[in-house]
Amino acid sequence: GDPGFLLTLFPEPELLLHQSPGNDTNATMDMESSEFCFVYHAKDAGRIYQHFANQDNSEENSNKVLLIDPLRPWQDILKILQTCKRVAASSLHGIILADSMGIPSLWFQFARGKYSSYSEGYFKYQDYFLSIGREGANKMAPIVDTNQVFDISRYSAPLPTQDREAIANRLLASFPYMNLSRPKQEALTKCERV
C-alpha cells in the first residue's frame, strides 16, 4: 500500500481548506459537485489545459471535467476531491486519494512527449493496484484518449468500505508510531469510521 491512502484520515479535510490569497480558482472553492475530476501529474502541467480544451468541446462535455492542480495545497485537493463523482488521474496519488475516499478512479497517461507522465512507467501503478487487490491489476494499462475520461465504463469501481478499512488498517499496523504524538488506537478508531 501507499501511505497517501491514509491522508484522508488525518485530520478532517473540511477543517483545513487552505485560504491563502491568490489561490488558483480553476478548482472552484464554492465546492459544487463535479461529475469528472482530473488530477494531473506535475509533469503534465504544460499541456493539460490545452489538451482538454482541444478535445470534445460539445456542450455535454465542455464543463464536465474539473482539472485539479497537484501543486495546490493538499488541504484544497482533499476538499475538492470530496466533490468529485469520478476521478481520472495521471498522478498516482490522485488515484490513491480517490480510492481512499471511495471514488471511482481511472488511470490516464498522456501519449509520449516532452510533457508526458508516460515516463513514470507502469510499475508503480501496477504495484499500487496489486497492493490494494484491484482485480486484473497485473494486466491494467492506462487510457490515453482524453475523450475516454468521459466514459464511465472505464472507471474502476469504488473500493468498498470494508476493503478501504482493511487497507488502512494494514498500513496503520506497519506504520512506526514511536515518533508520533497521536496514539495508535486513536488512528485505528478514526479508520473504523471511514
The pLDDT score that the predictor gives to residue 132 is: 92
Non-local CB neighbours of 90 within 8 Å, separated by 6+ positions: 38, 39, 40, 41, 44, 108, 109, 110, 117, 142
Q: What average pLDDT does the segment 44-58 reach?
A: 68
Q: Which three cell numbers stand for residue 78?
A: 482533499
> What's the gap between Cα 137 and its chain centre?
17
- Highest mean predicted confidence (pLDDT) among 31-40, 42-51, 52-61, 139-148: 31-40
pLDDT reported for residue 83: 92
Q: Are 4 and 117 in contact (CB under 8 A)?
A: no
| pLDDT tens digit sequence for 95-137 | 999 999 999 999 998 765 544 445 567 888 889 999 998 877 7
Q: Report the pLDDT value the prediction gives residue 115, as an integer from 0 to 100.
A: 45
**Integer Cα distance of 186 and 63 in angstroms:** 41
- φ, ψ dihedrals at 190, nearest 5°: -60, -40
Dist CA 175 CA 2 (whole Å): 11
140/126 Cα distance (integer angstroms) = 7
Q: Are 184 and 192 in contact (CB under 8 A)?
A: no
| Cell triple for 28 | 472552484
Mean per-residue pLDDT of the chain: 76
Which of the 8 DSSP states describes residue 121? Answer: -
Which pLDDT belongs to residue 27?
40
187 pLDDT above the threshold of 70: no
- Do residues 185 and 101 lie in contact, with contact meaning Cβ atoms separated by under 8 Å? no
Give the residue extent of every domain in the chain: 3-157
Residue 55, all three cell numbers: 478535445
pTM confidence score: 0.76
Mean pLDDT confidence for 66-87: 91
- CATH class, 3-157 region: alpha beta
Confidence of residue 18 (pLDDT cuts 50, 70, 90): very low
Q: 168 — alpha (psi -120 to 50), left (phi > 0) or beta?
A: alpha
Give dist(CA 20, CA 127) in Å, integer.
36
Whether the per-residue pLDDT at 35 is higher than 60: the answer is yes
Question: All 3 cell numbers of residue 1?
Answer: 500500500
Average pLDDT value for residue range 39-58:
74
